[in-house]
Structure 1
Amino acid sequence: MAKTLDGLVLSPVADQAPGQVGTRTRFTYHEEQGRIWAEYEGGDVVRGHLVGTREGDRLDFRYVQLKTDGGTSCGHCVSTVVELPDGRVRLEEIWEWESQEGSGTSVVEELPS
């Protein structure tokens, strides 16, 4: 199993659609006994939270966010934890909105220290 996510700061490697998470968004992860949670903000997201579980290298969580235009949205995501050659963590994500139409994939990586 890859290293703990606790205390790691990750960021998307590419921008998603307008009004969503992008390269200026920062996720601060926490992990304890198979439970994960994170706060995130930046770009078009004023405040976001995710909460879920980790089993091995698989994360399963739901997310909710407040955007700069005052709108809110939520969804579900399953991620695979990958350890990069330099020791940083990458999450390869498959997500789906629950509050609106849309789904896709994304990649977030631990920021270099």
Structure 2
Amino acid sequence: MPRSLDGLVLAPVADQAPGQVGTRTRFTYHEREGEIWAEYEGGDVVRGRLVGTRQGDLLDFRYVQLKQDGTTSGGHCRSTVAELPDGRLRLVETWEWESQPGSGTSVVEQVTEQAP
């Protein structure tokens, strides 16, 4: 049985392009019966939400966010959940904007401390 994401805080391991999520962004995940959702903020993101589904170690979700410059954007992401040697969880993500050009990959990992 895969470990639940419910209540976990995750953060990117590297910064993306300006105006996107970065190492100061924190995602707080929730999970129940195959549904996942999260709130996120920090860095260039004032407020973001994601919602989707989980089947085993695969996540499929849509995300929307409000950025510091007052613009909004949204997209689609597929992630694979993996456990790190120290027991923390990692998501390897493949994402694509739906509201603007751009796509890529990123990695977020479970953090034990809260955002500064």
Q: Same fold (TM over 0.5)?
A: yes
Cα displacement (A) at 1:108: 0.1
Query: Residues of 1 paired with 2:110 and 2:29: CA distance?
Result: 10
Alignment deviations for residues 18-49 of structure 1 (CA, whole Å, 9 cap, x no partner): 00000000000000000000000000000000
The 1-side partners of 2:32 and 2:2 are apart by 14
Q: 1:43 matched to which residue of 2?
A: 43
Correspondences of 1:1-113 after superposition (within 5 Å): 1-112=1-112
CA distance in 2, matches of 1:33, 1:41: 25
SS of the counterpart of 1:15? Answer: coil
> How high is the sequence identity, in percent, across the aligned residues?
80
Matches of 1:32 and 1:49 in 2, distance apart? 16
Given that residues 9 and 112 in structure 2 are in contact (C-alpha distance below 8 angstroms), is that contact kept between their aligned partners in structure 1?
A: no
Report the TM-score when normalising by structure 1.
Answer: 0.98
User: Quick one: distance in 1 between partners of 2:57 and 2:71?
Assistant: 32
| Residue ranges of structure 1 left out of the alignment (5+ in a row) | none
For 1:112 and 1:46, the matched residues in 2 are separated by 22
Which amino acid in the other structure matches residue 26 of structure 2? R
After TM superposition, give the deviation of residue 2 of structure 1 in Å.
Answer: 2.8
Give the aligned residue type for 1:14.
A
Moved runs in structure 1, 4+ residues, more than 2 A?
A: none
CA distance in 2, matches of 1:85, 1:43: 28
Q: Secondary structure at the match of 1:70?
A: coil
Structure 2: tracts of 5 or more residues without a match: none
Q: CA RMSD in A?
A: 0.8
Normalised to the residue count of structure 2, the TM-score between the two structures is: 0.96
